[in-house]
Amino acid sequence: MKTLAELQAIRDRARAQVELRRDDAGTRVVVGMATCGIAAGARPVMLQFVEEINRRGLKDVVVSQTGCIGMCRLEPMVEIYTPNKEKVTYVKVRPEMVGRIVAEHIVNGSVVAEYTIGAAEGQ
């Protein structure tokens, strides 16, 4: 049996993970996790968002998943919803891109335009 302190530490880590998925936060990070997204690598991207947001201690950000976003050729896709701003869709997201998206977009409010759907579509 584990000590009470060890059990409390496990509980605290689990609670922190659950907090990232609550519905009342300001910013929502939604990762497309349909079959196409998973096949393209969406799972490591979602886990990297959770890790980066935890590492930074961001309390007003929710990470969630959805089914197909609708453009399989651009997967993995991530949509970021910020209160009173337009939704931003990031495409072909890789785990190494997540740190920059969190730092520039979520923390500082500056969209990383080169990772967005507009850049991918040549707009």
- CATH at residue 69: 3.40.30.10
Distance of CA 43 to the CA centre of its chain: 10
Higher pLDDT, 17 or 114: 114
**The pair of three-digit structure tokens given for residue 44, joined into one six-digit string:** 């490591």
Give residue 88's pLDDT: 95
What's the angle, vertex CA 73, arms to CA 68 and CA 79, rounded to 5? 50
pTM of the entire structure?
Answer: 0.77
Total tally of structural domains belonging to the chain: 1
> Rounded distance, CA 96 to CA 22, Å?
25
Structural domain including 114 reads 21-120
Q: Is the pLDDT of residue 24 over 70?
A: no
Domain assignment present for residue 8? The answer is no
